[in-house]
Each structure stands twice: as C-alpha cells, then as structure tokens.
C-alpha cells in the first residue's frame, strides 16, 4: 500500500504543526459527532440527556422513550450555511457553502404492559416502547480558500525534501513520488554544493489553496425504553452508521525559477512557472454501535440521567488520487499522476462516549437542562492490512480526552407557545493548539395534543489552523475562522 500524501496538515477543530501519518487525521474527523435531534432539543443547546419524552431520545438516551404515553412521529429538515474566513501570510479570504439535509426523522410506538385487573396502574413496569430514527450526525459540506505572497519558502522546498527522503542508492529519486514528479517538471534539481535536491524557485511566490468538501455521517437507530413506576426509565439502542467524505484540495503556486533549458549543455535561465498540486479523496464507510441509558425522577420536578455509547466499529473504504502539473513560461505543461487511484480498506474504532445530565422542571412553566459528555479521542484505533503503528502513535500523542457541555432552557409562554435557548461547547480534541467549538441556539414552538411544530436557529463558530505544507520551522499557516448558521424545523404528530 502506498500511503496518501497529506499535504494539508489539518484536523477538524484545529491543527498542530506535526506531520500526520496516513490516516490519523481521518480517525479524528470520523470520531467527532453532532447528535441528530429534533428542533426542540437543538433549541436548548443539545442538553437532552435527562429530559425524556422527545423523539431525540431514540438516537440519544433511549431511556427517554419510556416517557411516551402515545405513539409519535416527527420530521426535521435543516439548512446549513458554512462561512469560512481565512488569513494567510497577511492576506484575507472568504468562502461560503450552503446545503439542505435531513437532520432527523423518528417515530416512537407506545406499548403499554398489561397488568392484572384491579392492580395499581402507576406501579411496576408500565410500558415498553420502541423507536426508530434516522439522523445526520456530521456535516462535511464546506469550501475553504486562502492565498498570499510567501517570501520565506516555496512548496518546491517541500518537493525537494520529499526527493531527499526518497533518494535511491544510485542518487535517483524513487518513481511515483512527489519529488520525482517535481524533478521531472524542473522545479527542483540536485545541487552538488549541497549534495542534496533543492528548490529552483526564487522567494516571493504567489500561493493559493482551495478545498471543496462534501458528505457527512448518518445513523439509523433502533431503540427501546421501559417505564418503571413513572420513576425509573431504562433504555437500550443500536446504531447502524454510514459515512461519506469527499474532498478536493488544490494548491497552486506561481513565481520565478532558475530552470535548466538545455540538458546537454547545462544551460539555465530564469523562467516564470505555475505549479498545481491536487489531491482527491473519496471515502465511504459503514459501522455499528450500541447505547445504554437511564433516567430517574427522585421527585416529580427533577430528572437526572446518563447514557453510555460504545465505540463505533467502522469499516472504511478509501479512494485517493493526486495530480501535479507545471507550466514553464505559460506553456509546455507537464502533468503527472498515478496509473490508478490508491484504494485501501481499513478499520476504525472511535472513542467510547459517556454522558450525564440533569433537568429541573418548574411546574408547567418550563425546564432548565444541562449535560456533560466525556470522550477520549486518543483512544481511537486504526487497523487493517497495513502497519498502523505510526497512525496509532500519532493518535495517542496528538489527541486527548475532552468534555463536551450543553445547557439550555424552555419557557412555556402560553398553553401552546414555547421559547427556547441554549449553549453548547465541543471540547478541543488536540493535545496542542486547536480550539473548542461553540454553539448558541434559540427557538420557538407551537404544540397541542395532536400536533406540534418547532423551529430553531443555531450559530456555530470555531477556529482552525492549517499548514498547506511543512518545511521545518518556517511552514506557512492559515488561520481559519469557521461559522455555521443553521436552521432546523420539526413537524410532529401524535397518534
């Protein structure tokens, strides 16, 4: 297997200036999780672990479906608006992307447990309800653009380093490597004075980078929840997961290089050049997990609950291609690419997740709810028909455990009209650098005995630092300020 080049060193919530191995970045990307839920739970910041009685429980804390005393169905579409502002070498940039997806579709089927005639209908096992849901748990749709003038180095320095790392005993460069392609395209040469391959480019190059990403993760959940004496609620569920991640990264550089124009005479001259390196990744995967949860009501106004979600065991199919093209003085373009894309299948085990929550209900006027969730990103594990030791070492070294927190409230303004607000923090997964992701949400809702409609707006923001290539301590970096403005609407029916 040939490892894919990760020219752009980046992670979901940030990046550290360390060269990632082959698949450790994707291990983090596919281990992050945004629970699919109804607009109501989105509106209270995702703090739904202890609330119960909402269709989000099917894919969240399955104990919550034990609260239902009628069957129910709901549908939640979403609009996602991504805005990425960048700063690279003092130059600002911006890229946007919008998408419409299905956030959640769910149903719960109420199933009371028959009790002997004359017995107390509020004690013992009262119901065993069943639920099914389809949720979107991650959204990868975004565009990223940045560029600027680099007066310290060139991507051709990166190619030269690759050539030196892949030099054979006879002094030639191993075929099919970036260094070999760059040498054939006259971007680098072997300098006897340095006894190494070096860049031919002069400093002061114009550089641009563009990433186009699509795809997401989804989960089909099958759950059951039981009600014991309207005090204790227990739940169990399984999840069948699916992921799709498509990205095209294009890095371009223009400048002037000292190019050999006559190989026989060794004549050189300054020439304008334009170089483009493109990476295309198409990744698909399927997996499964399980979850166990409970909710307990010590008194009618207080509920606390917890849920444990096992790791998701993924089988991932990766298809990767790369292309390098260079023109000298605007013509004589030379292009290199592999004979066929690199295809590989590997296994990914994501971290275990443990969440706990508390909800306080203020009679009929509403509630306040809070959740915390713990997970250890450094416990993610890769395996397959290759030596994954470097990847797993990077995962253990570069990632860390973190806590996600959510808090929110719902106020009943009239018998049928509700206001909601919430705030959530997704902790930083990186041992160094990186940043947390913050979510602020607000929503409204109308509910009666047969029908309800809820709408929520959420504002998500975080920072990310990316390094388009690495050359010792002078690697250029781009600071990305990412914002998502999302709208959710749920329509539900009871039957």
- Residue 442: predicted pLDDT: 97
Q: Which secondary-structure segment (H or E) carries 395?
A: helix 389-398
Bigger pLDDT: 115 or 428? Answer: 428
Tokens 């296994």 appear where? 347
Mean pLDDT of 1-14: 40
- Residue 3: predicted pLDDT: 42
Helices (H), 131-177: 155-165
Q: Rounded to 10 degrees, what is the CA torsion of 90, 92, 95, 96? A: 130
CA end-to-end span of the chain, whole Å?
55
What is the pairing mode between strands 417-426 and 366-376?
Answer: unpaired
- Residue 10: predicted pLDDT: 38
Q: Is the pLDDT of residue 222 over 60?
A: yes
- Residue 160: predicted pLDDT: 95
* Best CA proximity match to 64, nearest among 50, 43, 83, 77: 50
* Residue 398 backbone dihedrals phi, psi, to 5 degrees: -95, -20
Integer CA distances (angstroms), 454 to 74, 78, 102, 490, in order: 10, 12, 15, 5
Q: In this structure, are residues 414 and 456 in contact, taking their beta carbons and an 8 Å threshold?
A: no
**What burial letters (b/e) apply to 79-114, b meaning 16+ CB within 10 Å?**
ebebbbbbebeeeebebebebebebbbbbbbbeeee
Q: In this structure, are residues 187 and 326 in contact, taking their beta carbons and an 8 Å threshold?
A: yes
- Residue 339: predicted pLDDT: 87
Q: What global pTM score does this model have?
A: 0.88
Q: In this structure, are residues 293 and 63 in contact, taking their beta carbons and an 8 Å threshold?
A: yes
Q: How confident is the model at residue 20 (pLDDT cuts 50, 70, 90)?
A: very low
Bigger pLDDT: 248 or 122? Answer: 248
Distance CA 309, CA 288 (A): 11
Which range (84-93, 98-107, 108-117) has the least confidence? 108-117
Instruction: Write the burial class of residue 264 (CB in 10 Å: 0-12 exposed, 13-18 middle, 19+ buried).
Output: exposed
Q: Is the pLDDT of residue 1 over 70?
A: no
pLDDT tens, position by position, 322-376: 999 999 987 778 999 998 888 889 999 999 999 999 999 999 999 999 999 999 9
Q: How confident is the model at residue 290 (pLDDT cuts 50, 70, 90)?
A: very high
Percent of the chain with pLDDT over 90: 79
Neighbours of 448 (CB within 10 A): 9
Q: Which secondary-structure segment (H or E) carries 392?
A: helix 389-398
* Best CA proximity match to 33, nearest among 308, 350, 349, 486: 350
> What is the chain's mean pLDDT, rounded?
91
Say how far residue 293 (Cα) sits from the centre of its chain.
25
- Residue 22: predicted pLDDT: 59
Q: In this structure, are residues 406 and 424 in contact, taking their beta carbons and an 8 Å threshold?
A: yes
Q: How confident is the model at residue 6 (pLDDT cuts 50, 70, 90)?
A: very low
Q: Return the structure tokens found at 79.
A: 């609009």
- Residue 246: predicted pLDDT: 96
Q: Is the pLDDT of residue 478 over 50?
A: yes
Q: Which of left, alpha, beta for 434 (phi over 0: left; psi -120 to 50: alpha)?
A: left
Q: Is the pLDDT of residue 127 over 50?
A: yes
Q: In this structure, are residues 305 and 50 in contact, taking their beta carbons and an 8 Å threshold?
A: yes
Mean pLDDT of 189-203: 92
Q: Is the pLDDT of residue 159 over 90?
A: yes
pLDDT tens, position by position, 30-56: 998 877 799 999 999 999 999 999 999
3-state secondary structure of 441: strand
Mean pLDDT of 292-312: 97
């Amino acid at each position: 297997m040939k490892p894919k080049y990760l020219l752009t060193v980046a992670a979901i919530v940030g990046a550290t200036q360390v060269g990632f191995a082959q698949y450790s970045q994707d291990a983090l990307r596919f281990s992050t999780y945004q629970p699919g839920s109804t607009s109501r739970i989105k509106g209270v910041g995702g703090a739904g672990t202890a609330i119960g009685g909402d269709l989000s429980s099917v894919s969240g804390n399955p104990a919550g479906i034990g609260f239902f005393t009628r069957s129910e169905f709901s549908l939640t579409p979403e609009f996602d608006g991504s805005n990425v502002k960048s700063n690279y070498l003092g130059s600002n940039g911006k890229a946007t992307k919008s998408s419409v997806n299905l956030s959640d579709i769910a149903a719960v089927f109420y199933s009371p447990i028959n009790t002997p005639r004359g017995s107390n209908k509020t004690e013992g096992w009262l119901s065993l309800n069943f639920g099914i849901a389809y949720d979107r748990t991650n959204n990868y749709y975004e565009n990223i653009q940045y560029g600027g003038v680099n007066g310290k180095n060139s991507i051709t320095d990166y190619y030269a380093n690759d050539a030196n790392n892949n030099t054979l005993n006879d002094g030639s460069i191993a075929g099919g490597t970036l260094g070999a392609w760059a040498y054939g395209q006259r971007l680098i040469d072997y300098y006897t004075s340095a006894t190494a391959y070096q860049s031919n480019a002069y400093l002061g190059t114009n550089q641009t980078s563009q990433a186009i990403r699509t795809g997401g993760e989804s989960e089909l959940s099958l759950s059951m929840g039981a009600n014991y004496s309207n005090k204790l609620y227990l739940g169990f569920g399984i999840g069948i997961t699916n992921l799709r991640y498509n990205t095209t990264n294009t890095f371009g550089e223009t400048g002037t290089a000292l190019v050999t124009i006559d190989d026989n005479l060794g004549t050189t001259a300054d020439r304008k050049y334009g170089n483009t390196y493109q990476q295309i990744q198409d990744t698909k995967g399927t997996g499964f997990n399980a979850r166990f949860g409970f909710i307990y009501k010590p008194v009618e106004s207080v509920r606390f609950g917890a849920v444990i979600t096992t790791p998701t065991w993924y089988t991932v199919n990766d298809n990767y291609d790369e292309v390098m093209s260079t023109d000298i003085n605007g013509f004589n373009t030379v292009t290199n690419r592999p004979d066929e894309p690199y295809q590989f299948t590997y296994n990914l085990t994501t971290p275990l997740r443990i969440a706990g929550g508390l909800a306080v209900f203020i009679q009929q006027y509403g509630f306040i709810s809070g959740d915390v969730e713990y997970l250890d990103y450094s416990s993610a594990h890769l395996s397959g028909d290759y030596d994954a030791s470097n990847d797993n070492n990077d995962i253990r070294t570069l990632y860390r455990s973190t806590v996600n927190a959510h808090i929110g409230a719902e106020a009943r303004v009239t018998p049928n009209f509700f206001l909601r607000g919430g705030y959530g923090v997704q902790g930083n997964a990186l041992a160094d650098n990186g940043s947390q992701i913050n979510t602020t949400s607000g929503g409204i809702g109308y509910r009666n005995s047969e029908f309800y409609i809820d709408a929520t707006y959420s504002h998500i923001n975080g920072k990310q630092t990316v390094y388009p290539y690495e050359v010792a301590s002078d690697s250029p970096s781009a600071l990305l300020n990412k914002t998502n403005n999302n709208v959710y609407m749920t329509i539900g029916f009871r039957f």
